[in-house]
Structure 1
Amino acid sequence: MPRFLAALCALLALALASPPQAARAQATAIDVAATRIDRFDVGTPAGGRYGELVFLGGLRLTSTDPAFGGLSGLRLSEDGRRFTAISDRGHWFRGALAYDGRALAGVADVTREPIRGPRGPLPGRRGSDTEALEIRGSSAWIASERVNEVLRFTLDKDGRAGPGRRVALPEEARKAPFNEGFEAIATTNGGALLMVAEKFLEANGDNRAFVVGAKKPFAFSVRRTEDFSPTDLARLPGGGFVLLERRYVPPFSLTIRMRRLDEADMRPGAVVDGPVVMTASLIQTIDNFEGVSAHRDASGVTVITVVSDDNFSRLQRTLMLQFALPD
């Protein structure tokens, strides 16, 4: 074989083998500063009970990286020591969490990289608006509410994702209103994808929901009360789900709440409701919470973590708070 042809073949082989390395090279290390939050409100210090939960503490996160913020989906590792988040401008954020006893104490080793779809990096808030994240094993799912699209990703051993592939959705699910689609996704015990809409309503005013990827996909609804809109969903380690909801009345009224939902109630045509475990307003330390995750700590207690979307506004904050859910 001529030398130039051998060299050409070698370059071609390198190019074909290089996408994983190229994908890893796209991750950018960023500095994120964390300020501890030791009180949920005047009467609730870390370790204090609030509603049905126990406030464990939290962090306010800031960064000089202009792309940091807009965190709209969150998942922690099974031990709660690492996090993966997505922003509505189309970025993955990954990093480590430090603890002081049971309380969050800081973040470290944070990286940022673009979320890639079938045609390359997603266009961000105006063109896609990535709002919800689920991770299970070596798979991840991201829902974009402006285009009513769900992508599925394969994760490598480090939790890094290649390009996403579209998930086939029921025709009715694709009719969700612009910017009011699926902000809450999680997987069922059987591994199917559960999707709850922000403000895609049934005729009776309840939130529409779908289970897709199952042998028999189906639609149901989640009871909507007091005009709270779902913003995220997470599977609880002990079974069932925690649903994060928000009610915003301009210009200064913001309320968030969490409800428990039972998977056994989720059947075709059913209306699912569940008990409220926590409601908080601006009297408490809250912001625009749009991401929720759940894991068990070293003692076996279920910990719920929420993160807020600051909308890249100087008037809002990126907060990460944790609560224990007593069994």
Structure 2
Amino acid sequence: MDTPGAEPAGSYRWIAKAPWFGGFSGIEMSDDGMSMLALSDRSILVSAKLRREDGRVSGAEVTSANWVRSSKNKPLLGRAGDSEGLAVAPDGGHYISFEGVHRLARYADPESRSEVLPRPNAFKHLAGNGSFEPLAIDDQGRLYTMPESSRAVDGTIPVYRWDGKRWSTPFKLPPRGDYLPVGADFGPDGRLYVLERATGALGFRSRLRRWTVSDTAATQEETILDTRAGTHENLEGVSIWRDAKGKLRATMISDDNFVFFLRTEIVEYTLPE
């Protein structure tokens, strides 16, 4: 399918010689698009400075790499360290969602121990490898997450919201085709963007949908990106920001699954208003 609305703004293959490098499933861009946080699904949080030429990413320099830590201040390993979603809070701290052991945690800084959020009963019944990949935070500091493959009884995608005191399910999103949600972000326009992925014999397909969100509903659904198979690698993380020209831009990062035939790719598109 052709891209509906979004325009390609560059693709960069990121390479770093480090044993921990790869598996990126979350990304958060700085307001000026010149630095980023990237989260590996093996609990490594990486800071990097970007180089750009004519607005396109032309380089990425790692400035720090830290193990994501447990509530006991130990590096997370194995199933407990299956970190997927990343969201930066207004106070500068950040949140991470985990898929192996279904939970969300807050971190004051990249080197701090985790503060695990309460886990409602609904989390106990999620699929073992199909829970919290997307994670986003709105301008009120409320967290939104959704399971990758687990569904509500009616087949919709349940969206869970943490308001700082309790969890709720303010709305559900309609699935479309064989895509699964793998990343999310609130853009500077206030809309919720969800990155979705589908797999097949010809490679990965990526789709980006967005909604206008109220306290109890997600409306005005739009599909603004839908790529052909093999256009990009396994895109899993997304960050929405405005570039120097004031255009909305989506920056996405791929998970290479630590296999030689996949690449770590930073992909950007400018988006329609």
- The answer, yes or no, to whether TM exceeds 0.5 is yes
- 1:107 positional shift: 1.1
- Which position in structure 2 is the counterpart of 1:148? 102
Structure 2 CA distance for aligned equivalents of residues 78 and 248 of structure 1: 32
- Which position in structure 2 is the counterpart of 1:315? 261
In the alignment, which of 73, 88, 93 is matched to residue 139 of structure 1?
93
Structure 2 CA distance for aligned equivalents of residues 106 and 243 of structure 1: 26
Work out whether residues 66 and 111 of structure 2, in 8 Å CA contact, stay in contact via their aligned partners in 1.
Answer: no
- Which position in structure 1 is the counterpart of 2:15? 62
Q: 3-state SS of the aligned residue for 2:77?
A: coil
| Percent identical residues | 26
In the alignment, which of 144, 165, 170 is matched to residue 115 of structure 2?
165
Work out whether residues 99 and 128 of structure 2, in 8 Å CA contact, stay in contact via their aligned partners in 1.
Answer: yes
Stretch moving more, 143-152 or 291-300:
291-300
Higher helix share: 1
Structure 2 CA distance for aligned equivalents of residues 301 and 82 of structure 1: 18
Cα distance change, pair 215–150 in 1 and its aligned pair in 2 (3 A): closer
Structure 2 CA distance for aligned equivalents of residues 260 and 201 of structure 1: 19
Q: 3-state SS of the aligned residue for 2:136?
A: strand
Letter in 1 for 2:257: N
Give runs of aligned pairs for residues 10-89 of structure 1, distance below 5 A: 50-89=3-42
Structure 2 CA distance for aligned equivalents of residues 222 and 214 of structure 1: 22
- 1:216 positional shift: 6.1
Q: Where does the alignment leave 5 or more consecutive residues of structure 2 unmatched?
A: none
Stretch moving more, 136-145 or 205-214:
205-214
Q: Which structure has the greater CA radius of gyration?
A: 1
Cα deviation 1:29-86 (Å, max 9, x = unaligned): xxxxxxxxxxxxxxxxxxxx94211111121012221210000010011111110011
Work out whether residues 28 and 88 of structure 2, in 8 Å CA contact, stay in contact via their aligned partners in 1.
Answer: yes
Structure 1 CA distance for aligned equivalents of residues 5 and 147 of structure 2: 25
Q: 3-state SS of the aligned residue for 1:242?
A: strand
Letter in 2 for 1:142: I
Task: Say if 2:148 is the partner of 1:176.
Answer: no
Work out whether residues 185 and 196 of structure 1, in 8 Å CA contact, stay in contact via their aligned partners in 2.
Answer: yes
In the alignment, which of 175, 182, 187 is matched to residue 137 of structure 2?
187
- Which position in structure 2 is the counterpart of 1:92? 45
In the alignment, which of 146, 152, 159 is matched to residue 196 of structure 1?
146
Work out whether residues 243 and 260 of structure 1, in 8 Å CA contact, stay in contact via their aligned partners in 2.
Answer: yes
Task: Say if 2:262 is the partner of 1:298.
Answer: no
1 or 2 for the larger relative contact order (CA 8 Å, sep ≥6)?
2
- Which position in structure 2 is the counterpart of 1:277? 224
Structure 2 CA distance for aligned equivalents of residues 109 and 217 of structure 1: 35
Task: Say if 2:187 is the partner of 1:236.
Answer: yes
Structure 1 CA distance for aligned equivalents of residues 119 and 33 of structure 2: 31
Structure 1 CA distance for aligned equivalents of residues 11 and 186 of structure 2: 21
- Which position in structure 1 is the counterpart of 2:178? 227
**RMSD of the TM alignment (CA)?**
1.9
- 1:166 positional shift: 0.2
TM-score normalised by structure 1 residue count: 0.78
- 1:225 positional shift: 1.2
- Which position in structure 2 is the counterpart of 1:8? none
- Which position in structure 2 is the counterpart of 1:205? 155
Cα distance change, pair 238–77 in 1 and its aligned pair in 2 (3 A): same
- 1:169 positional shift: 3.0
